[in-house]
Structure 1
Amino acid sequence: MLAFCLLITACTSVSPPPASAQEQPVEIRRATLPFKIDEPGAARLGQLIWRGGIAMTATSASFGGWSDLHVSADGRTLTSISDVGGWLTATIEYDGKGNLAGLSGARTGQLRGPDGRAIQGKIEADAESMTRLADGSWLVAFERYHRIWRYPTLQGVPSLVEGPPDIARLPANGGIEAMITLADGRIIAISEEFRRRPGTVAGWVGSPQPDGRYHWRAFDYPTIPDFHPTAIARLPDGSFVMLERAFDIARGVRCRITRFEAVDLEPGGVVRPQELARLASPYAVDNLEGLAAGKGRNGETLLWLISDDNFNPLQRNILMMFELAEP
């Protein structure tokens, strides 16, 4: 996570109270999010078509910091993790047109460590990316204390997964920010800030081995000035979509969404992303860190994005949905 405050001189971020490892219900309050503040009828930006958005608050003080996102194949169940070690599950609600309307049946808890205790504190609990394996288990990547843990369930006790050889060299606050599982069991992991060559960040493809380990091969993902990857998802056609984010005081938060082909993931190669859209004020945007993709009820390709509010009252937890237009 790129830790920042929207106004440095007025930063009032606070750490949330320790959360229980026990699963518990939480009521999510929502407010409708306009796509473009100064143009109520706006519905498209680049190749993204607006399908609804909400700003979320909750009855739990530990609600927030959402750093990655998974949506089930049927588009009904949302799962997220936070950068203080929390997790969230909820049912996604849609209106009569199939647009995002809200969340219901939400439940939260705290990830555990190998000792079975709830993980606490920023260094231990900074979960930044997640992916679900074919057997239903989860891989969660943490930064600061860089490692990948495998959870049988999000309420379960994890085991360590051997990560890429470079994992110990990753910047403290720039670790594995994007991660996804492929149908054949391979794992794609991309660093937020670690570079092997100028103008790129490092990524790896991990192939599962008979002994349960992964054989990791490196590639590079090109970046543009100020933007860093925060999430990855696979589209129904087999290509990939990436979420990137930038921030500075003068321009605030900006995010861009890119797409690249699976054939670009060659050992030692460089991905060739195509920009689909760029979000910045007055369009709906915040510290977007989570991304999921899937199909809608009419066969359209949908993208869901979630933000990390850093537990800062000047920021928001937002959830947005877009339809990906045909080129």
Structure 2
Amino acid sequence: MLLLAVACAAVPPAAPVDAQSLPIEIGAQQEPFRLDASAERQVGRLIWRGGLSLSASSANFGGWSDLSVTPDGRRLTSVSDVGGWFTATIEYDQDGNLAGLSDGRIGPLRQPDGRPLAAKDWADAEAMTHMPDGSWMVSFERHHRLWRYPTLDGIPVAVDLPLEFRRQPFNGGVEALSALPDGRLVAISERYSVRPGFNVGWIGVPSGEGHYAWSRFEYATAPSFHPTAITRLPDGSFALLERAFDIVRGVRVRVMQFEARQLAPGAAVHARELAFLASPYAVDNLEGLSAATGSHGETLLWLISDNNFNPLQRNLLLMFELAK
């Protein structure tokens, strides 16, 4: 019944983000680490550094499926599964913990003819990564594709993809996408598998403007869990989110890590668990992940959730420090 109530309560916006980007006021309510008011401040190897439940002065604010935080930790950018993006300045308290967002701005992702994306089947942005040249790569599912944007309010160019990219389930495409400093791409499908217990991933090596040479690897998964985000950590390894949901246990999220040396054509990547997030910890439909180095040299992780434009869900922004 809960699952039915959640589905019935979801009300996506009737119109796409306005044709031009606009400033928005972002409301940020402090989120407790645990609902039971425990004094605990660590789960697994993640140390709590603050959380926010976000709202904004725009009906299009929601559905946030991935995010990118600048290396200095000052600005964040996110994309929505209804074809929008927003960016904001991250505010910290005197102890360097997450306190709020300011200078917000929201705008539309465009299609190659310059018009804003509108139809859900074409606007379902699920992953993003900041490329070494400053452009953005965005992954869309349903009509599975990668589009490269010079800026997020710019005109995209389609990227050549392997034929099997189209074999991904309609609503289970690439939600985990990351760029390496040399321009290579790492992409992992949420639900495409060719053998039990492993999801298909691809490594793309640049081979000319808009072209990549693609090879396949596999990512080992646990039953019911699906990869929804990946980011490269300051030490060169990778962190990922894996999400599961059922009516009895609700949302559960595993925060994972694997070493870069595991990535190779034909390889099977096995990640280790850093933390397990489930009630009473702060958790929702977490789909976005980014990392940067803090002011004291610590590794910081930011997680963002997709509220599905559902009043029973939240746009959460969480910040953790990775314990050594």
TM range (shorter): over 0.9
1:282 partner letter: P
CA distance in 2, matches of 1:226, 1:210: 38
Check whether the contact 1:165–1:216 (CA below 8 A) recurs between aligned residues.
Answer: no
Check whether the contact 1:34–1:40 (CA below 8 A) recurs between aligned residues.
Answer: no
Q: Deviations over 1:233-267 (max 9, x none)?
A: 11111100010100000000000101001111111
**Per the alignment, in what secondary structure is the counterpart of residue 188 of structure 1?**
strand
Tell me the residue number matched to 2:79: 81
| 1:39 CA displacement | 3.1
CA distance in 2, matches of 1:263, 1:26: 42
**Per the alignment, in what secondary structure is the counterpart of residue 167 of structure 1?**
helix
**Per the alignment, in what secondary structure is the counterpart of residue 8 of structure 1?**
helix
Q: So what's the TM-score if we normalise by structure 2?
A: 0.97
Tell me the residue number matched to 1:60: 58
| 1:15 CA displacement | 1.7
Tell me the residue number matched to 1:216: 214
CA distance in 2, matches of 1:86, 1:69: 12
| 1:135 CA displacement | 1.4
66-75 vs 164-173, which moves further: 164-173
Check whether the contact 2:287–2:303 (CA below 8 A) recurs between aligned residues.
Answer: yes
Q: So what's the TM-score if we normalise by structure 1?
A: 0.97
**Per the alignment, in what secondary structure is the counterpart of residue 313 of structure 2?**
coil
The number of residue pairs the alignment matches comes to 322
Structure 1 vs Structure 2 CA RMSD: 1.1
- Stretches of 4+ aligned residues off by more than 6 angstroms: none
- Equivalences for 1:149-160 in 2 at 5 Å? 149-160=147-158
2:10 partner letter: S
CA 1:104–1:39 in 2, change beyond 3 Å: closer, same or farther?
same
CA 1:208–1:55 in 2, change beyond 3 Å: closer, same or farther?
same
Contiguous gaps of at least 5 residues in structure 1: none
1:15 aligns with 2:12: yes
CA distance in 1, matches of 2:194, 2:266: 11
Tell me the residue number matched to 1:312: 310
- Equivalences for 1:29-178 in 2 at 5 Å? 29-178=27-176
2:253 partner letter: C
Tell me the residue number matched to 1:299: 297
CA distance in 2, matches of 1:8, 1:30: 28
| 1:9 CA displacement | 3.5
- Equivalences for 1:242-281 in 2 at 5 Å? 242-281=240-279
Contiguous gaps of at least 5 residues in structure 2: none
